Amino acid sequence: METKAHVKEQNGIDYRASDEEKGHNNGSILEKPRSTANHDDPFGNDDGEVQYRTMAWWQAALIMIAETVSLGILSLPSAIAGIGMVPGVILIIGLGIIATYTGYTIGQFKAAYPFVHNMADAGEVLLGPVGREVFGIAQTIFLTFVMGSHLLTFGLAMNAITGHATCSIVWGLVGMLILFVVAIPRTLKQVSYFSIAAFASIVAAVFITMVALGVSPPNPVVHATVSTTFNSAFASVLNIVFAYAGHVAFFSFISELKDPKDFPKALGALQIADSSMYLVIAVVIYRYAGPDVASPALGSTGSIVRKVAYGVALPTILLAGVIYGHVNTKYVYVRIFRGTKHIAERSRFATGTWIGIALALWIIAWIIAESIPVFNDLVGLISALFAANFTYTLSGVFWLFINAGKWFSNWRKISLTIVNLFIVALGLTVCGVGLYSSGKAIHEHSVQGAGKAWNCET
């Protein structure tokens, strides 16, 4: 029987718990989840062969930066070109601020329910077993689509570097095999070391592009605002939403921190890095490349510089994809073995299962990449379907859930309630309108023959 305790205020959140739960959360007062089937820490075995909770906050920050900045940054110049400089800058700054707040809210939800390891666990807290299944399926599909976007970008990069030396489908297979092999390590701490190279490579690649455009600018006419169709404009909005789409993996990152209380430090480092980079790079590349800026943006320069930029960017294209693949594989692995000894084992069975899951997910990602071969179309579709909800809608729901019964208790709560209701409405609007917009764009490009599916010339 659940007994309500007094309410403790912390960071604007009410934490409630049954009497029996208080001892498991360092005195925190939590509301009992709807289902306790998975009410355990999957990484709580301190005697296991594989130790997961080993990351320092700066390692988590590097992973988050590599995961978030990698591909999102390459679509932003074309997003500004689609709607104009002023709306583009406002959206990059505005959505970045909201993404910072929603990321913090995810950290608060994790603090309230420490056993939450992924979006499926969060769904179980909100809606019971049905929520676990719906959120888990959505997370897996989203992460697999993002993995596909990395394979697509790898194919574009290799085509640019080699001058279409072989079929694009082959490059996709090569990328799939490389990413699969690199994603085999089972802890994020091991993956975090790759993130340093990934972050350095994307920064170097975009700066090479900016310098090349600045040295020999084509002197295009740029526009403060652009007269365009609603469908085209919203496609640009979806590209900006995708740039802040790392929230789906935040629960997993927090779960592997040595001290989960350090998450705000990692989040702060991420948001400072990505927002400032997005703004500077998107504006500068659009300023010098003009309305015809390519997407991914590295294709906006001449042939030689484009090859160099893509070559330098390869570590990011590959390694950031590894992070998404790792998180996706780990969700499925934990879902299968949660509560068993296999979670922390290095046995042949445990290792073989991990490798099998990873290979299956990368094969599916490759199929997606070959089926939707236009970069902006793929980004738009996954932004509308998932990124809007994981980054905005659900974070607002999390806050409303853990503050249920206290929404109007004081002026501060009333203000935060309004803010979070707005965030929920924002996410749902982007999802609904974005699905129509991206679906129409995919259809139009298919009719026009732009980026044919399963085609060597893509």
Query: Residue written as tokens 């707040």?
Result: 101
Determine, yes or no, domain membership for 35.
Answer: no
Determine, yes or no, domain membership for 37.
Answer: no
Q: What are phi and psi of 368, to 5 degrees?
A: -65, -45
Specify whether the CB–CB gap between 244 and 274 falls below 8 A: yes
Angle of helix 303-337 versus helix 129-162 axis, rounded to 10: 160
Determine, yes or no, domain membership for 7.
Answer: no
Determine, yes or no, domain membership for 10.
Answer: no
Cα(294)–Cα(69) distance, integer angstroms: 18
DSSP codes, 93-160: HHHHHHHHHHHHHHHHHHHH-TT--SHHHHHHHHHTHHHHHHHHHHHHHHHHHHHHHHHHHHHHHHHH
Cα(362)–Cα(179) distance, integer angstroms: 8
Q: Which token pair is 374? A: 């236009």
DSSP codes, 244-269: TTTGGGHHHHHHTBSSGGGHHHHHHH
Q: What are phi and psi of 15, to 5 degrees?
A: -110, 125
Determine, yes or no, domain membership for 40.
Answer: no
Instruction: Assign 457 to helix, strand or coil.
Output: coil
Find the helix or strand (DSSP H, E) in which 272 lies.
helix 263-289
Determine, yes or no, domain membership for 41.
Answer: no
Determine, yes or no, domain membership for 27.
Answer: no
- In tens digits, the chain (458 residues) has pLDDT values of 333 333 334 334 343 333 333 333 433 333 444 444 455 666 655 565 667 778 899 989 988 888 788 767 888 998 899 899 999 999 999 999 999 999 999 999 999 999 899 999 999 999 999 999 999 999 998 899 888 888 888 888 888 888 887 888 888 899 999 989 888 888 777 777 777 788 888 889 888 999 888 887 666 778 888 888 888 888 888 889 888 988 999 999 999 899 999 999 999 999 999 999 999 999 999 988 888 888 778 888 888 888 898 889 888 888 778 888 999 999 999 888 887 888 878 888 989 999 999 999 999 999 888 887 665 676 677 778 888 899 999 999 999 999 999 999 999 999 999 999 999 999 999 999 888 877 777 777 666 655 566 677 65
Give the global pTM. Answer: 0.81
Query: Residue written as tokens 């690199």?
Result: 182
Specify whether the CB–CB gap between 150 and 317 falls below 8 A: yes
* Residue 259, domain extent: 52-448
Q: Which residues pair with 13 in a beta bridge?
A: 10
Determine, yes or no, domain membership for 20.
Answer: no
Cα(243)–Cα(383) distance, integer angstroms: 9
The answer to whether the bond into 33 is cis (omega within 30° of 0) is no
Domain count of the fold of the chain: 1
CATH number, domain with residue 260:
1.10.4160.10
